[in-house]
Amino acid sequence: MGIISRGFGGRRRESVPGLPPGQYLTYDFPVLSAGPTPRIPLDRWRFTLTTETGAQKSWNWQEFTSLKTEDISTDIHCVTKWSKLGTSWRGVSLDTLFEDVETAADYTMVHSFGGYTTNVPLEDLLDGKAWIAFKFDGEDLDPEHGGPARMLIPHLYFWKSAKWVNGLQMMHDDEPGFWEAAGYHMYGDPWREQRYQGD
Amino acid sequence: MARTAVSRRLNWRIGTVREVRQETPTIRTLVFDIPDWPGHAAGQHIDVRLTAPDGYQAQRSYSIGSAWTDGGTVELTVQKLDDGEVSPYLVDVVEPGDQIELRGPVGGWFVWRPAQTDPVLLIGGGSGVVPLMAMIRQRSLAKTMQPFRLIYSVRTPEDICYADELRRRVRDDGGLDVRYVYTRKTPQGWPDPPKRIDVATLNTYGWPPDFAADTFVCGPTSFVETAADILVALGHDPRRIRTERFGGK
Amino acid sequence: MNVLDGNALAGDLAEIFAVDVTAARFVCAGCGHADAVATLQLFGHAPASVGRCPECTDVVIRLVRADDRVFLDMRGTVRLELPMSGS
Ligand SMILES: Cc1cc2nc3c(=O)[nH]c(=O)nc-3n(C[C@H](O)[C@H](O)[C@H](O)COP(=O)(O)OP(=O)(O)OC[C@H]3O[C@@H](n4cnc5c(N)ncnc54)[C@H](O)[C@@H]3O)c2cc1C
Ligand SMILES: [Zn+2]
C-alpha cells in the first residue's frame, strides 16, 4: 500500500459501516468521464429499445416524459471508491418501457450519445431495479451528470448507469461494453467488490 | 514466477523532502533527496502518490522544475488550488524530513535537450512555467546559445514564480528573454490592460513562423488550447508545437 | 471537466513498458491521423483513463488500473511506432 503521508487527510470522506467493501462516503457528486460531454437538444433526443429480432420501440422526449414517472431515493456506488447516500432522482422505470415488449434474450447493451456502451442482464433492469432518470434533486439533469437522461441502476457500480442514454439492445449472449472490454467487471456488484475482470 | 519476467519497468520509490522554498504566497518548491535517481530531461514529470492513515490514496503529476546535473536535486514547484485535494497539502503541510512516494521521471515527448539547436519559444500559463523553467535552467547548465524566449501568463505581478531568478538569467544568460502577460492586474505603468493571451500577444511577442522555433506550451488545459490554436492560426507548423495540459477548466 | 493529454499517461505506461510509449506514434484506427501518444486527449482519472484521437475523438487507448493488474486496450490504434536507439 505504500507509506502513510504525514498529515495527509485527502478529500472529505468517511468510512461508515454499511457501505459496500472498499467504499468511502462522499458529499460531492463524483463525475466519471470517458469523453467529451455531448449536448443533446431535446428535440433531437430519442430513446430506442431494440429486441433481438430487430423489433423497435422508440420515444421522443415528449413521449418519454409523459410516461409514468417515479421518484427514487437511493445510494450510489462508484467504482472509483466513492459512495453517495440518499440521492434523489425522478425517472421512468424500465418496467414501464418493457411493457408489451416480446423478448427471449437475457442480456442487454445500453447505448449512449457519444458512443458509450455498457452491458446489463435483463433481470437487473426489471422489477423496480432500474430507471431512466431525467431529474436529480428536483432539477433537470445536468449534461455533466448525464442529462438529458441517464440510466439509474443503483445496485450495480455506477458505470453501469450510463449517462446520455439513447438506446437499449437485447442480446442472447452477454457481451462487454465500453469499460467491460477494457477490464472492468462484466457484472459489477459493489457488495461483492466486482470492480475488475476476475474479481 | 513467470509473471515477473520483464526488466526496466518503473516503480514507486520514496523521496525525502530536503528543503522547501516559498516562491510566491501560493506557490512552493519542494526539494527532494531521492536515492539512485537516474537523472531526468527538462520537461519530464513525476507522479506523486499520497496515502492517508485509512489507506485512501490520491495521485497527481508534477513537472520537475530543476535541470539535472550529477549530484543535482529534484525539485517540484506546486501551485496551491484552494479547493484542491493534493496541492494544499504539498504547499502548506509538507515539511523537510517528510517522505513522499514518487514515480518518475516520466514523459519523453514534452522534453527539450540541449542538443536541439533551433530557437525555442516557451509559452506558460500559471504553474505551466515549471517544466519550461527546467528547460531554461538546462540550457544555462549546458551553456548553449539557442535563442530562448519565454512568454509567461500570470494573474498579477505577485504571482510570478521564479521572478528573481528569471531577472538574473535574462541579464546573465545570453539570448534569453521573458515577456509577461497579466490577466488580472498589471504592474504600474504597464502598456496593456490586464488580458488573457491572445492573437496580438503571440503575434507581437512570439517569433514569426519562419523562425521555425521549437515551441513548448504548458499550463491549464484551456490556456494550452487557446495558445496552440493561435499559433497554428498564425502559421506556425503544428509539428513543432508541443503541448502539455495541466487540467482545470 | 478536467481534460488532460497523453503526457499524463506516462507514469502508468512506464510501469508496463520499458520504453516511453508517450513518445511513440499512434495511427488512429478511425481516421488515420498519426501523432505522438502524448497528444491524445485524455479523459478520466485513475483507475480508468481514455485516450482519444485529437482529430476525430475516437477512442485510441483505454487504460484501467486495478490494484494488482493493468488492462490496456489499444484497439483504437492500428499501429504504434516506437523510437529505439539505433544500432
Ligand atoms: C503532466 C502534468 C504536470 C503537472 N505539473 C504541475 C506542476 O509542475 N505544478 C503544479 O502546481 N501543478 C502541476 N500539474 C497539475 C497537478 O497535477 C494537479 O492537477 C494540481 O496540483 C491540482 O491538484 P489538487 O489535488 O490540488 O486539485 P483537485 O482536487 O484535483 O482539483 C480541485 C479543483 O481544481 C481544478 N483543477 C485541477 N487541476 C487544475 C489545474 N492544473 N489548474 C486549474 N484548476 C485545476 C479541478 O477541476 C477542481 O475543480 C500537472 C499536471 C499534469 C497532468
Ligand atoms: Zn482519429
Chain B partners within 8 Å of C23 (Cβ)? 108-109
Average pLDDT, chain C: 91
Residue A160: give the domain boundaries.
13-30+45-184
**DSSP SS3 for C64:** strand
Q: Which three cell numbers stand for residue A94?
A: 424500465
d(CA A187, CA A190): 10
Best mutation site among B78, B137, B246 for ligand 1 pocket (most ligand atoms within 8 Å of CB): B246
Q: What is the pLDDT of residue B206?
A: 92
Of all ligands present, the nearest one to the C-alpha of C29 is 2
A80 touches chain C (CB under 8 A): yes
User: Are C20 and B244 an interchain contact pair (Cβ–Cβ within 8 Å)?
Assistant: no
C56-66 tens-digit pLDDT: 999 999 999 88
Q: In terms of pLDDT, which residue wins out, A11 or B116? A: B116
A46-90 tens-digit pLDDT: 999 999 999 999 999 999 999 999 999 999 999 989 999 999 999
Q: What is the pLDDT of residue C47?
A: 75
User: Are B221 and C3 an interchain contact pair (Cβ–Cβ within 8 Å)?
Assistant: yes
Q: Which of A4, A8, A81 to mutate to test the interface with B (most CBs of B within 10 A)?
A: A8
Confirm whether A106 is domain-assigned: yes
Bond before B105 cis per omega within 30 degrees? yes
Task: Please give the class, per CATH, of domain B2-106.
Answer: mainly beta
Residues with CB under 5 A from ligand 2 (ion): C 28, 30-31, 33, 53, 55-56, 58
User: Are C18 and B8 an interchain contact pair (Cβ–Cβ within 8 Å)?
Assistant: yes
d(CA B176, CA A161): 53
User: Are B246 and C4 an interchain contact pair (Cβ–Cβ within 8 Å)?
Assistant: yes
User: Are B248 and C2 an interchain contact pair (Cβ–Cβ within 8 Å)?
Assistant: yes
B134 close to B63: Cβ distance less than 8 angstroms? yes
Q: Which residues of C touch A (CB under 8 A)?
A: 1, 3, 43-48, 50, 52, 57, 59, 62-64, 66, 69, 71, 73
Nearest CA owner, ligand 1 atom 32:
B84
Confirm whether A194 is domain-assigned: no
Per-residue pLDDT tens digits of chain A, which is 199 residues long: 579 999 998 887 777 888 999 999 988 887 778 899 999 999 999 999 999 999 999 999 999 999 999 999 999 999 989 999 999 999 999 999 999 999 999 999 999 999 999 999 999 999 999 999 999 999 999 999 999 999 999 999 999 999 999 999 999 999 999 999 999 999 999 999 999 998 8
B34 close to B102: Cβ distance less than 8 angstroms? yes
Q: Which three cell numbers stand for residue A131?
A: 430507471
Q: What is the pLDDT of residue C86?
A: 58
B244 close to B218: Cβ distance less than 8 angstroms? yes
In DSSP terms, which residues pair with B180 in a beta bridge?
Answer: B152
Overall domain count for chain A? 1
Confirm whether A157 is domain-assigned: yes
B189 residue type, one letter: G
B141-176 tens-digit pLDDT: 999 999 999 999 999 999 999 999 999 999 999 999
Task: Give the residue-averaged pLDDT of C37-63.
Answer: 92
Q: What is the pLDDT of residue A31?
A: 75
A182 touches chain C (CB under 8 A): yes
ipTM above 0.90, yes or no: yes
Check whether B185 has a pLDDT greater than 60: yes
d(CA C38, CA C57): 14
d(CA A177, CA A174): 9
User: Are B99 and A11 an interchain contact pair (Cβ–Cβ within 8 Å)?
Assistant: no
B247 close to B224: Cβ distance less than 8 angstroms? no
Which CATH code of 3.40.50.80, 3.40.50.10110, 3.40.50.2020, 1.10.10.1100 fits the domain covering B120-245?
A: 3.40.50.80
Confirm whether A36 is domain-assigned: no
User: Are A13 and B53 an interchain contact pair (Cβ–Cβ within 8 Å)?
Assistant: no
At which residue does the C-alpha cell 509559452 appear?
Answer: B123
Q: Which residues of B touch C (CB under 8 A)?
A: 6-11, 45, 47, 59, 61, 103-104, 106-110, 221, 242-248
Count each helix (H run) and each strand (E run) in chain A, helices first.
Answer: 2, 11
Confirm whether A3 is domain-assigned: no
d(CA B114, CA C26): 27
DSSP 8-class letter at A22: T
Q: Which three cell numbers stand for residue C81?
A: 511506432
A89 touches chain C (CB under 8 A): no
Nearest CA owner, ligand 1 atom 35:
B248
Q: What is the pLDDT of residue C67?
A: 83
Of all ligands present, the nearest one to the C-alpha of C57 is 2
Confirm whether A24 is domain-assigned: yes
Chain C partners within 8 Å of B246 (Cβ)? 4
Q: What is the pLDDT of residue B3?
A: 42
Q: Which three cell numbers stand for residue A152?
A: 439509474
Q: Tell if the pTM clears 0.95, that is, is over it.
A: no
Ligand 1 site, CB within 6 A: B 45, 60-63, 77-79, 81, 83-87, 127, 130, 220, 244, 246-248; C 2, 4, 7-8
- Structure confidence at residue B8 as a pLDDT band (50, 70, 90): low
Task: Give the residue-averaged pLDDT of B53-80.
Answer: 94
d(CA B180, CA B152): 5
